[in-house]
Structure 1
Amino acid sequence: MSSKERMQRYKDKIYNGILDAAMEILKTEGCESLSVRKIADKIEYSVPVIYSYFLNKEAVLIELSRKGFTKLITCIEKSLKGLISPEERMEAMLSTLIEFAHKEKELNQLMYSVGVHVIDVEETFPVLKVISDLFRKELNDLKAGEIISEDSFRSTYLTFLSIAHRLVAVNHYYKNIDPAINSIVLKKTVHAILQPIDA
Structure 2
Amino acid sequence: MGSKERMQRCKDKVYNGILNAAMDILKTEGCESLSVRKIAEKIEYSVPVIYSYFLNKEAVLIELSRRGFATLVNCVEKALIGLTDPEARMESMLTAHIRFAQKESELYQLMYTVGIHVTDVEETFPILKDISNLFRKELNGLRKDISVTESSFRSNYLTFLSIAHGLATLNLYFRNLDPVANCTVLKRAVRGIISSIDFE
Deviation for aligned residue 1:26: 0.3
Amino acid at match of 2:120: D
d(CA) in 1 for partners of 2:145, 2:30: 45
Q: How many residues align?
A: 199
Q: Which residue of 2 aligns with 1:102?
A: 102
Amino acid at match of 1:58: E
**Larger mean Cα displacement after TM superposition, 19-28 or 149-158:** 149-158
Q: Is the 8 A contact 1:21 1:39 kept in 2?
A: yes
Alignment gaps of 5+ in structure 2: none
In structure 2, the CA distance between the partners of 1:145 and 1:17, relative to structure 1 (3 Å rule), is farther
Q: Which residue of 2 aligns with 1:66?
A: 66
Q: Which residue of 2 aligns with 1:124?
A: 124
d(CA) in 2 for partners of 1:100, 1:86: 21
Percentage identity across aligned positions? 68
Please report the TM-score for the alignment, with normalisation by the length of structure 2: 0.95
Q: Is the 8 A contact 1:95 1:183 kept in 2?
A: no
Q: Which residue of 1 aligns with 2:87?
A: 87
Deviation for aligned residue 1:145: 4.8
Q: Which residue of 2 aligns with 1:18?
A: 18
Deviation for aligned residue 1:97: 0.8
Q: Is the 8 A contact 1:97 1:164 kept in 2?
A: yes
Q: Is the 8 A contact 1:87 1:190 kept in 2?
A: yes
Please report the TM-score for the alignment, with normalisation by the length of structure 1: 0.96
> Residue by residue, what CA displacement relative to the aligned partner does 1:87-108 show, whole Å, maximum 9, x if unpaired?
1111111111111111000000
Q: Which residue of 2 aligns with 1:198?
A: 199
Deviation for aligned residue 1:163: 1.3
d(CA) in 1 for partners of 2:17, 2:145: 45
d(CA) in 1 for partners of 2:154, 2:180: 29
SS in 2 for 1:126: coil
d(CA) in 2 for partners of 1:170, 1:195: 22
> Residue by residue, what CA displacement relative to the aligned partner does 1:111-148 show, whole Å, maximum 9, x if unpaired?
00000111110010000000000001110111115321
> Residue by residue, what CA displacement relative to the aligned partner does 1:149-188 show, whole Å, maximum 9, x if unpaired?
2222112211111112222232233322122322221222
**Larger mean Cα displacement after TM superposition, 172-181 or 98-107:** 172-181
Amino acid at match of 1:75: C
Amino acid at match of 2:156: T
**Larger mean Cα displacement after TM superposition, 29-38 or 139-148:** 139-148
d(CA) in 2 for partners of 1:173, 1:118: 26
Amino acid at match of 2:58: E
d(CA) in 1 for partners of 2:137, 2:146: 10
